[in-house]
Amino acid sequence: MTTSEPGGQASSPKPAPRPGPARPVPRPGRPAAAVAAPPSSDPHRFGRVDPDGTVWLITGSGERVIGSWQAGDPEAAYAHFGRRFDDLQTEVALMERRLESGTGDARKIKAAAQALAETLPTAHVLGDVDAIAERLAAIAAHADEAAHADKAKREEFRAAQTARKEALAAEAEDLAANATQWKAAGDRLRDILEEWRTITGLDRKTDDALWKRYSAAREQFNRRRGSHFAELDRERAGARQAKEALCERAEALSDSTDWGPTGVAFRDLLSEWKAAGRAAKDVDDALWQRFKAAQDKFFGARNAANAERDAEFRANAEAKEALLAEAEKIDTSDLDAARAALRVIGDKWDAIGKVPRERAADLERRLRVIEKKVREAPTRGVDPEAQARADQFRARAEQYERQAEKAAAAGRDKDAADARANAEQWRQWADAAAEALGKGR
């Protein structure tokens, strides 16, 4: 099949224009494709083929030659130029669909429609070219509306994306200024950065300004965190030095047998330990084990000594029980013999030593009852003043003995020794007074 375009042969007389077929009129505001049926693709309605092969297109503005068909059958010419129109119509329909669906750039679709419309006056097709022109004009008009809508959507999207980044920047700034949960805040800043990278569509100037805010906040947070941990390292180093010194002091005390004062000293060391702060965890744990080992050594020895002392005190209590049983049998009918027997029991009592604290008062009370019984036994020819003086001396001796017991129980060994010395002195005076009473009878 061969064809020739205008200019390829001698011109022939031009027939008078004939009106084209009626075309549907699109409603305003929508592209023609949305309201009208596609233009007819029947090429016989919009053209003719002369016997010499000249092919004419019929439009509303008249007729024009679109080619010369030299391949024989005129129907083949209609089919050939009709297919060209069908291709043109398909291209227009594609533009309409892209514009209606919003899958294309409205500005680019408008430009393509305008460019295609400019080719219509010279297009070599047979079909309703006027309808195509109207559809292209509707596409261009609708594209303007779509472009405005797209612009509004883009601006709305840009505003939303800007708001998201502004919120993230503000959150980062708050963390940078106020956060003290360093790990959680650091993790959140990293999450903000990951989310930040997914937010697009901002204008470059705004995006750069917001990025500077986030970046500055992250730097501020890193500086604060670095300062915090540097200070924490200094505090931990100081705590380590202080606790090492406390360990040395505790170890120096661990072999002491001065139980009372050393126990107080260990309590003071523990208070200092708690006030010293914390070193690094592994260091702090190791130092505590060292300190505790020294503490346990002392208190273990003290507990063992106390257990031995308690056993001794229980044996002493049993010995004093035996003395009380012996004292309770003293016969006061012979007062001199009774007093002499009581003095022997008193000497043995003092020589026995301490008893458990919870039993000391009761044992002393029982001994005092026996002493009072002997003192108050009836006598003949005794000077009342001398008897009162002897009783006073013995009462003072008993008072100092009780003080000695209390001081010893409290761990005040020096006070206990002083009280026992005073008791012994008053006891001697009491015995001397009692002896003088015996001779004066």
What confidence tens digit (pLDDT) does each residue in 65-101 have?
Answer: 999 998 778 899 999 999 999 999 999 999 999 988 8
Burial of 57 (0-12, 13-18, 19+ CB in 10 A): buried
Beta carbons within 10 angstroms of residue 366's beta carbon: 16
Q: Is residue 279 very low, low, confident or very high in pLDDT (cuts 50, 70, 90)?
A: confident
In the predicted structure, residue 439 carries a pLDDT above the cut 70: no
In the predicted structure, residue 105 carries a pLDDT above the cut 90: no
pLDDT (0 to 100) of residue 376: 79
Give the model confidence (pLDDT) of 305-334 as tens digits: 888 888 988 999 999 899 889 888 888 878
Distance CA(214)–CA(88), nearest Å, equals 53
Give the model confidence (pLDDT) of 232-263 as tens digits: 888 889 999 998 898 999 999 889 989 889 99
pLDDT (0 to 100) of residue 333: 79
Average pLDDT of 131-154? Answer: 88
pLDDT (0 to 100) of residue 31: 42
SS (H, E, C) the chain: CCEECCCCCCCCCCCCCCCCCCCCCCCCCCCHHHHCCCCCCCHHHCEEECCCCEEEEEECCEEEEEEEECCCCHHHHHHHHHHHHHHHHHHHHHHHHHHHHCCCCHHHHHHHHHHHHHHHHHCCCCCCHHHHHHHHHHHHHHHHHHHHHHHHHHHHHHHHHHHHHHHHHHHHHHHHHHCCCHHHHHHHHHHHHHHHHHCCCCCHHHHHHHHHHHHHHHHHHHHHHHHHHHHHHHHHHHHHHHHHHHHHHHHHHCCCCCHHHHHHHHHHHHHHHHHCCCCCHHHHHHHHHHHHHHHHHHHHHHHHHHHHHHHHHHHHHHHHHHHHHHHCCCCCCCHHHHHHHHHHHHHHHHHHCCCCHHHHHHHHHHHHHHHHHHHCCCCCCCCHHHHHHHHHHHHHHHHHHHHHHHHHHCCCHHHHHHHHHHHHHHHHHHHHHHHHHHHCC
Average pLDDT of 116-138? Answer: 94
Distance CA(99)–CA(348), nearest Å, equals 124
In the predicted structure, residue 381 carries a pLDDT above the cut 80: no
Q: Is residue 23 very low, low, confident or very high in pLDDT (cuts 50, 70, 90)?
A: very low
In the predicted structure, residue 207 carries a pLDDT above the cut 90: yes
Q: Is residue 215 very low, low, confident or very high in pLDDT (cuts 50, 70, 90)?
A: very high
Cα-based distances in Å from 193 to 171, 214, 219? 12, 9, 13
Instruction: Mention every residue, 6+ apart, whose C-beta is less than 8 A from residue 275.
Output: none
pLDDT (0 to 100) of residue 228: 92
Length of the chain in terms of residues written = 441
- Quick one: angle between helices 281-327 and 335-352, nearest 10? 160
Q: Which residue pairs from 166-171 have beta carbons closer than 8 angstroms and sit at least 24 positions apart in sequence?
A: 166/210, 168/192, 168/195, 168/196, 168/199, 168/214, 169/210, 169/213, 169/214, 169/217
Give the model confidence (pLDDT) of 152-203 as tens digits: 888 899 999 999 999 999 999 999 999 999 999 999 999 999 999 999 988 9
Predicted TM-score (pTM) of this structure: 0.44
Distance CA(34)–CA(395), nearest Å, equals 129
CB 23 within 8 A of CB 46: no
pLDDT (0 to 100) of residue 353: 83
Domain borders along the chain are 3-154, 156-234, 236-306, 328-439
pLDDT (0 to 100) of residue 19: 40
pLDDT (0 to 100) of residue 330: 86
pLDDT (0 to 100) of residue 50: 92
In the predicted structure, residue 16 carries a pLDDT above the cut 60: no
* Average pLDDT of the residues of the chain: 84
CB 68 within 8 A of CB 55: yes
Query: Measured at the alpha carbon of residue 318, what is the angle toward residues 368 and 362, in degrees to the nearest 5?
Result: 35
Distance CA(48)–CA(15), nearest Å, equals 11
Distance CA(155)–CA(150), nearest Å, equals 8
In the predicted structure, residue 40 carries a pLDDT above the cut 70: no
